[in-house]
Amino acid sequence: MWVRSEYAGELAVLSTWLCGLAPWAVTWIARGEATGYFFWFHAINLLFTPGLNIPGERPLWVWGFLEFSVYTGETYATYLWLAGTGVFGVALGLSVAYYVAEERIQSLTVDPVKILGGLLVASAVLLGGACVLLVRNHLGTTVPVGVVLQVVLGVILLRTERIERSDDATAQSA
């Protein structure tokens, strides 16, 4: 891939953190003059309604959404959302460990960059399934922005090859 071997770990950590900051999907609902936006993050759902004051409007955590779900499709979407968030939580934990103890994680028999790539793709598949169910069973239009980001970054990490560079190659390129 296009990343140097010595920077593959940094790319994996930053990719995971970037995916954690981006919403995995955005839904917007327009009804007459009113417009609402749902930002589906890994652990929380935020509702933004510009110009409207909705009583009880608050963020919903992924585990609390099960009580709030109205449609059966939303309940299944919430299960997939919860599973995708769990897989992403493992990736996030590994990325923090990789950042803190790079030498120890690097010495494992398996490549942590590939593991993080696989976890990002697995989480994206689960969240993509939740997005499909939301498109079918939820009002409004849902766009899987973070799912696409996770797939792209996960595939980049999976395709990254670690090639040790010799000092001669480094000297010649300088």
| pLDDT greater than 70 at residue 99 | yes
Per-residue confidence (pLDDT) for residue 96, from 0 to 100: 96
Contact 146, 127 (CB under 8 A): yes
Average pLDDT over residues 155-170: 71
H-type alpha helices, 60-166: 65-68, 72-100, 102-106, 112-137, 145-159
Q: Please, which pLDDT band fits residue 171 given cuts at 50, 70 and 90? A: very low
Per-residue confidence (pLDDT) for residue 158, from 0 to 100: 92
Quick check: is 31 in a domain? no
Quick check: is 32 in a domain? no
Q: Give the integer Cα–Cα distance in Å for 54 and 60.
A: 14
| CB-based contacts of 70-76 (< 8 A; 24+ apart in sequence) | 71/137, 71/138, 72/137, 73/133, 73/134, 73/136, 73/137, 73/138, 74/133, 74/134, 74/137, 74/138, 76/133
Q: What is the residue-averaged pLDDT of the chain?
A: 83
In terms of DSSP bridges, do strands 60-61 and 141-143 run parallel, antiparallel, or are they unpaired?
unpaired
Q: Please, which pLDDT band fits residue 174 given cuts at 50, 70 and 90? A: very low
Quick check: is 120 in a domain? yes
Q: Phi and psi for 145 in degrees, rounded to 5?
A: -60, -50
**Sequence letter at residue 88:** F
User: Is the model more confident about 9 or about 31?
Assistant: 9
Tell me: the pLDDT tens digits for 34-91? 788 888 899 888 888 776 666 655 677 777 766 765 556 677 888 899 999 999 999 9
Tokens encoding 74 = 């939303």
Instruction: Classify each residue of 101-129 as buried b or exposed e, where b means 16 or more C-beta atoms within 10 Å of its C-beta.
Output: eeeebeeeeebbbbbbbebbbbbbbbbbb
Per-residue confidence (pLDDT) for residue 68, from 0 to 100: 65
Nearest to 162 by CA among 90, 91, 106, 98: 106
User: Is the model more confident about 83 or about 6?
Assistant: 83
Q: Which domain holds residue 18?
A: 5-22+63-161
In the chain, pLDDT over 90 holds for what percent of residues? 44
Give the number of residues written for the chain. 174
Please count the structural domains in the chain: 1
Quick check: is 46 in a domain? no
